[in-house]
Structure 1
Amino acid sequence: MRSSEQNRRTVRIISWVTAICLLGDSMLYIVLPVYWASFGLQGLWQVGILLSINRMVRLPLNPLVGWAYSWLPKRTGILIAVVIACLTTLAFAIASGFWMLLIARAAWGAAWSMLRIGGYLTVLEVSTEDRGHLLGSYNGIIALGSLVGMLAGGVFADLLGVRMVALVLSIITALGFPLAWLFTTSHETKPSSSSKEPTKQALRRGLLHPYALLTLCSGLIIAFLFQGLLNASLSSLIDIQLSHRAEGLIIAGFAMGAASIAGVVQALRWGWTPLLSPLIGAWSDGPRGRLPLYFVTLVLAIAGMLFLSLPLPFAAWMIFLIMVLAANTALNTLSDALAADAAAQGTHTVAYMTTYTTILDVGAALGPLAAFTLIETYSTQGITLLSATMLLLLSAAWFLLRRHIQVKPFHTASM
Structure 2
Amino acid sequence: MIFEKMNSRSKVVAIALITAVTVLGDSMLFIVLPLYWQDFGLTEVWQVGVLLAINRFVRLPITPLVGLFYKKYDVRVGILLAVLLAGLSTLSYGLANGFIVLLIMRMCWGIAWSFIRLGGMLTVVSSSEDHNRGKLMGLYNGLWGLGGLTGMLAGGFFIDIFSITAVTTVFAIGSFLLLPFIYLLIPKTEEKKAAQEAANKFKNLDLSFLTPYTRLVIATSATMGFIVLGIFASSLSTLIGQSYDEQWTLFGTIISITALAGAIQAFRWSWEPFIAPLFGRMVDRTKNKHGLILIPLSFSIITFWLLGYVDIIVPLLIVIFVFQIASTMFVTVTDTLAAGAAAKTDSVKMMTLHTIMVDLGAAFGPLLSFFILFWFDLNMVFYVSSMIMTVLAVAWLIYGIKQKKPMSRA
Residues 81-160 of structure 1 mapped to structure 2, 5 A cutoff = 81-92=82-93, 98-120=99-121, 126=128, 136-160=138-162
TM-score calculated relative to the size of structure 1 = 0.69
- Aligned in 2, Cα 1:294/1:326: closer, same or farther, shift over 3 Å? farther
Equivalent pairs, count: 389
Does the Cα contact within 8 Å between 1:228 and 1:365 map onto a contact in 2? yes
**Structure 1 stretch displaced more, 122-131 or 262-271:** 122-131
1:264 counterpart = 2:260: yes
Q: 1:309 to 1:208 in 2, by over 3 A?
A: closer
Query: Identity of paired residues, percent?
Result: 32
TM-score by length of 2: 0.70
Structure 1 residue aligned with 2:175? 173
Correspondences of 1:173-192 after superposition (within 5 Å): 173-177=175-179, 180-181=182-183, 184-185=186-187, 189-191=191-193
Once superposed, what is the RMSD of the aligned Cα atoms?
Answer: 5.0
Question: How many angstroms apart in 2 are the aligned matches of 1:118 and 1:354?
Answer: 16
Cα distance change on mapping 1:196 and 1:362 into 2, 3 Å? closer
* Aligned position for 1:55: 56
Partner of 1:277: 273
2:365 to 342, 367, 380: 367
Query: 2 CA distance for matches of 1:340 and 1:370?
Result: 28
Q: What amino acid sits opposite 2:75 in the alignment?
A: K
Structure 2 unaligned blocks of 5 or more: 1-5, 251-255, 405-410
Match of 1:328 in 2: 327
| 2:155/2:167 contact within 8 Å kept | yes
Aligned partner letter, 1:151: L
Distance 1:287 1:270, change over 3 A: closer
**In 2, distance between residues paired with 1:344 and 1:71?**
30
Q: Hey, what's the Cα distance between the residues in 2 that align with 1:8 and 1:294? A: 35
What is the CA-CA distance between 1:117 and the residue it aligns to? 3.5
Give 1:24 deviation, angstroms. 1.9
Q: 1:74, 1:189 within 8 Å by CA — same for their partners in 2?
A: yes
Partners of 1:340 and 1:353 within 8 A in 2: yes
**AA of the residue aligned to 1:361:** D
> Deviation at 1:36?
5.9
Superposition deviation, residue 172 in structure 1:
0.6
Instruction: Describe the shift of the 1:50–1:269 C-alpha distance in structure 2 as closer, same or farther (beyond 3 A).
Output: closer
Alignment of 1:281-292 (within 5 A): 281=277, 284=280, 288=284
Measure how far apart 1:390 and its partner are: 1.9
Q: Distance in 2 between matches of 1:301 and 1:288?
A: 18
Q: Is the 8 A contact 2:201 2:352 kept in 1?
A: no
Relative to 1, partners in 2 of residues 1:127 and 1:299: Cα closer, same or farther, differing over 3 Å?
farther
Q: 1:206 to 1:381 in 2, by over 3 A?
A: closer
The question of whether the paired residues in 2 share the 8 Å contact of 1:300 and 1:327 is answered with yes
Superposition map of 1:304-383 within 5 A: 304-306=300-302, 309=305, 318-336=317-335, 339=338, 349=348, 354-371=352-369, 372=372, 381-383=383-385
Q: Which amino acid aligns with 1:155?
A: F
1:224 corresponds to which residue?
A: 226
Alpha-carbon contact 1:137-1:277 (below 8 Å) kept: no
Q: Which runs of 5+ in 1 are unaligned?
A: 254-258, 403-415
